A and B are shown apart, each in its own frame.
Chain A
Amino acid sequence: MTALIRLQGIARRYGRGDTLVRALDDVSLGIDEGEFVAIMGPSGSGKSTCMNLLGCLDTPTDGQYWFRDVDVGQLTADELALLRRHFLGFVFQSFNLLPRVSALQNVELPLVYQGVAPAERRRRALAALATVGLEGRAGAAPSELSGGQQQRVAIARALVSEPPVLLADEPTGNLDTVMSTDIMNRLVQLRTERQLTIIMVTHEPDIARYADRVLLFRDGRLVGDGPPDQVMG
């Protein structure tokens, strides 16, 4: 079985000459279907850059990225958008919900871009909200929800189109411990229910322990890869 995601000699550089920044340097790795991977490392280690590349939000300067045997580097901007639309769900540290529209409308958004009819859209969005325990708050605006609730709405939005991969960038970064635990338990549960592949950036060891594999970055290089206890010592 081939890997779900394969990176080969990936580099991401910004600027040139004296101001050249090597955000990622010669990174090669593979992630299998169904894995829960935590990407760790200090600030500036390249973990967020790696996440953006994996999410097709950014393009590498060098190297190759295969997603299910598709060479992502060969895809057009529109094809990348379709890849994000159908295969990737995003959860961000700052939730990134659209303000001024309801939780339900936020969750419906990916389906809007898939051209799903309104009634079907609503049904699926309500179901997605129910899986994160927010069926009662469908009409609430993001500003009326707690941070934990907003992140649950974001998870519902990421998963409403049932993508195989969930990309979470510091999903608990803005949450207190109780809410963080709640979010992580939900992610673990969803993963089991849906055979989801989860790739999560975090700098908190406690959060990384929920994953079954940790990728450790330092100065743009991959310096550790293995089970949490082994990598984090």
Chain B
Amino acid sequence: MRAADVLTLAGQAIRRNTLRSFLTTLGIVIGVASVVTMVQLGQSATQSVTERIASIGSNLLFVIPGTAQRGPGNVRATAEPFDLADAQALARDIADVRVAPALNTTVTVVAGNVNDSVPVVGTTNGYFPVRNHPLAYGREFQPGELASGAAVCVIGQTLVEDLFSGREPLGATLRVRPSACQVIGVLSEKGESMGQDRDKIVLMPIKAVQRRLVGQLDVDAIYVSALVDGTTGQVQGQIESLLRQRRHISAGAPDDFYVRDTQDIADALEGTTRTLTLLLGAIATVSLLVGGIGIVNIMLVSVTERTREIGIRLAIGARARDVLMQFLVEAVVLSTLGGLVGLLVGLLATVGATWKLDMPLVLSPAIMALGFGFSVAIGIVFGFVPARKAARLNPIDALRHE
């Protein structure tokens, strides 16, 4: 029997029961579509996380008092905070690094008749390169302003839009309760990161925040960036030994601060999204298997219905393998059609979802090939049992079947 004839036969059988064929393949369509969509969205999420981490700053280390242990209880409360001298010591004693201390608080900011609750970071000019967040225009803090804790500030793009709505922000006065500051610079646009608008921020000299807003001399965190690629590990070691010394931690006692690499955070987040992707992919694969069961079911019914037809074919000279091929190819064509439609649906769903969720569009030819290949394989595996049942029919029994 010619291959083209086998395919024609399968096409005829499928078209003869259009609705039934459609319902049979629906499981495969849904299965392939969900595998493709889930995995591609997962990869898209991973990429988006990676991009956001990169935007925080590369080669960046967060030095934070307390222990890195996560869980209930605030360990930071028990650890002694850093002060400005710690930051200065890091900058002075460790080679090839930039250092920026940070003191974070949230205040109500008022300009004209608009007010908003905004995060304020007290820091130094080191912040701009270390956090990879340069000025768009205006100027940085002057040494005198830093030393005296002058009431000046650099603001993010969102605040320019929200508070000044088109008016010139430079030189304007921003009320930062209970104080006020003069806007000297505007940060470049950074966008959202981890659900946070990174352009909704006010930077002030750290001494200004200490004195005018918080009323204490603590430093919440010290950001350190290594200037030479690949040295963050080494720098981390230097920071740890220097801080242990300054904080008089005896040998053997645990650190009461921790240093975190942005790469650690990226790895942790990527690990999470990857696990989720795998999980979703696994669930979607189960739905593909369920689709395969739908195919076995319908093909078994079809073989029973067409027993007499099989008898006629056997009498006319079909061999068992001709009958086997007829039904196997029919099942494979069904599942392949389902796979193709599923790919299309999955592609549309991926494009739609990434567009709606504002995620990067990641298309994975590998997973599409895998999903499609899987659908074909399901046709072969699940089509085999009914096809063998058909091929094993005895001609005379099949012909007598009512």
- The number of chain B residues touching the other chain, given as a range, is 20 to 34
Identify which of A78, A96, A109 contacts B319 (C-beta below 8 A).
Answer: A78
- Assuming the contacts A57-B399, A96-B399, A98-B312, asked whether A113 and B320 have C-beta atoms less than 8 A apart, the reply is no
Contact partners of B12 in chain A: CB under 8 A: 101
Complex: how many Å from CA A78 to CA B316? 13
Given A78-B321, A115-B1, is A109 in contact with B395 using a C-beta cutoff of 8 Å? Answer: no
Residue of B318, B394, B399 near A113 (CB, 8 A) is B318
| Residue ID in chain A nearest B317 by CB atoms | A85
Complex A-B: 21 CB contacts under 8 Å: A52-B396, A57-B395, A58-B394, A58-B396, A78-B319, A81-B314, A81-B317, A81-B319, A84-B316, A92-B399, A96-B308, A96-B312, A100-B16, A113-B1, A113-B313, A113-B316, A113-B322, A114-B317, A117-B2, A118-B4, A161-B317
**Once the chains bind, are A77 and B319 in contact (CB under 8 Å)?**
yes
Task: Report whether B315 and A57 are in contact in the complex, using a CB–CB cutoff of 8 Å.
Answer: yes
A65: chain B residues at CB < 8 Å are none
Most buried by A among B308, B318, B319: B319
Given the interface pairs A100-B16, A101-B12, A113-B322, the reply to whether A86 lies near B317 with Cβ below 8 Å is yes
- The 3 nearest A-B residue pairs measured at CB: A85-B317, A81-B319, A57-B395
Query: Are the CB atoms of A82 and B317 closer together than 8 Å?
Result: yes
Name which residue of chain A comes closest to B315, CB basis: A90
Contact of B309 among A52, A81, A98, A110 (CB under 8 A): A98
Give the most central of B2, B316, B319: most A CB within 10 Å. B316
Known contacts A101-B12, A113-B322: A55-B315 contact under CB 8 Å: yes
CB distance from A178 to the nearest CB of B (A): 27
B358 / chain A contacts, CB cutoff of 8 Å: none
The residues of B with any CB-CB pair to A shorter than 8 Å are 1-2, 4-5, 12, 16, 308-309, 311-322, 394-396, 399
Residue of A nearest to B398 (CB): A57
Classify the interface of chain B: helix, strand, loop or mixed.
helix
A97, B316: Cα distance in complex, Å: 11
Find chain B residues with CB under 8 A from A77 CB.
319-320
Whether a CB of chain B sits under 8 angstroms from the CB of A223 is no
**A73 CA to B316 CA in the complex, in Å?**
19
Closest to A100 in B: B16
User: In the docked arrangement, what's the CA distance between A112 and B316, Å?
Assistant: 10
Task: Say whether A157 faces chain B, with CB atoms less than 8 Å apart.
Answer: yes
Contact B312 A82 (CB under 8 A): no
CB within 8 A of A115: which of B2, B314, B399?
A: B2
Closest to A55 in B: B315
Given A57-B396, A112-B5, A113-B1, check contact A157 B317 (CB 8 Å): no
Most-contacted residue by chain B among A82, A90, A113 (CB, 10 A): A113
CB distance from A92 to the nearest CB of B (A): 8
Q: In the assembled complex, which residues on chain B have CB atoms less than 8 Å from the CB atom of A55?
A: 315
Closest to B312 in A: A96
Residue from B311, B313, B321, B399 in contact with A109 in the complex, judged by beta carbons closer than 8 Å: B313
Bound CA span A96–B399, Å? 8
Q: B93 to nearest A CB, angstroms?
A: 87
* With A81-B314, A81-B319 already in contact, 15 other A-B pairs whose C-beta atoms are closer than 8 Å: A52-B396, A58-B396, A78-B319, A81-B317, A81-B318, A84-B316, A90-B315, A90-B316, A96-B308, A96-B399, A113-B1, A113-B319, A115-B1, A115-B2, A161-B317
Residue among B312, B315, B399 with max Cβ neighbours from chain A (10 Å): B315
* Distance in Å: Cβ of B168 to nearest Cβ of chain A: 81
Query: Given the complex, which residues of A lie within 8 Å of B316, measured CB to CB?
Result: 84-85, 90, 109-110, 113, 157
Q: Contact mask A107-148 → B, CB, 8 Å, 1/0?
A: 001101111011000000000000000000000000000000
Distance in angstroms between the alpha carbons of A109 and B326 in the assembled complex: 13
Binary interface encoding of chain A residues 46-69 relative to chain B, with 1 for a CB under 8 A from any of its CBs, else 0: 000000100101100000000000
Cα-based distance from A117 to B16 in the complex (angstroms): 24
Q: Is the CB of B1 within 8 A of A78?
A: no
| Nearest neighbor of A157 in chain B, beta-carbon distance | B316
State the Cβ distance, B318 to closest chain A Cβ, in Å.
5
Q: How far is the CA of A98 from the CA of B4 in the complex (A)?
A: 20
Closest-by-CB residue of A relative to B391 is A77
With a cutoff of 8 Å between Cβ atoms, the chain A residues found around residue B396 in the complex are 52, 57-58
Q: Which chain B residues lie closer than 8 Å to A115 at the CB level?
A: 1-2
State how many angstroms separate the Cβ of B129 from the closest Cβ of chain A: 75
Complex alpha-carbon distance, A92 and B317, angstroms: 15
- A84, A100, A114: the one contacting B315 at CB < 8 Å is A84
For A90, the chain B residues whose CB sits under 8 A away are 315-316
Q: Are B317 and A84 in contact (CB under 8 A)?
A: yes
Residues of chain B with a CB closer than 8 A to A82's CB: 317, 319
Query: What residues on A are CB-neighbors of B395 within 8 Å?
Result: 57-58
| A211 to B394 alpha-carbon distance, docked (Å) | 31
Are the C-beta atoms of B321 and A113 separated by less than 8 Å? no
Complex Cα gap A58–B308 (Å):
16
CB distance from B13 to the nearest CB of A (A): 10
